[in-house]
Homo-oligomer: A and B are copies of this chain.
Amino acid sequence: MEKPKFEFDCRTCLYRWENFKTLTEEQLQLLCNHRYEASFKPGEIIFKKGSPTSSVIFLVSGMAKVFLEGLDGKSIIISIAKPGMMISGPGTYGDMRHHFTLTSLTDVKACFIDMTVMKQLVHLNSAFAEGLISDISNKSLLMYYKLVGLTQKKMPGRLADAILYLANQIYETDEFDLILNRQELGDFTNMAKESVIRILKDFEEDGLIESNCSRIKILDKPKLQMISENG
């Protein structure tokens, strides 16, 4: 009986990131020899803005929030991380410092891959390098659209965006138990928690959603999309 080259977790975890498929068996082995796992309880800091980065991170299971720590203790949630995404800040190829904080929202199992290995793979495999550039570019692109949304849309448009993002990108269903509280929803949409509550109520009264506390159900997606587009 042949011994499997990699343990179960490694394969499933890593292979969810498309770009690892460009690697040869040997290169994948190199990667697996330099990976570490850690577990986190909800609300724990996985890495903190300002701390040194020496690895990129993949979630094996669970969800986390990626957020900028802004002025006066206010936060801006950039995105919700779930398994299969590479989480690496712009500091990874710059000043080697984290520029945002990653905090678990649920129980999280995370896989850390040493940056020196990532850089080695960039040298060894140009398809991998190109995939990495592509990944970073796409994240940058999302930031552009986030910037437009947060600065130019009014509150209902921003909140509609958030709900659609959660339904389409994160939960992949139109009814879900929200892991973000109202404050965090505010951090994601750049509004006060009170405003989140008020507009969520408006949406409910207009028959766009059904919401009681953490449960949200989208009732009229086309209308929600219209609000998102018209700001």
Contacts and interface: CB of A to CB of B under 8 A. Distances in A.
Interface of A: 68, 70-72, 74, 76, 78, 89-94, 99-100, 119, 122-123, 126, 129-130, 132-134, 136-141, 143-144, 146-148, 150-153, 190, 231
A59 B222 CA distance: 44
A41 to B, nearest CB: 27
B129 A140 contact: no
A229 to B, nearest CB: 9
Main secondary structure of the interface of A (DSSP, over half): helix
B144 A90 contact: yes
A151 B188 CA distance: 11
Contacts of A139: 140
A147 B148 contact: no
A151 B144 CA distance: 13
A94 B231 CA distance: 26
A69 B153 CA distance: 13
A8 B81 CA distance: 48
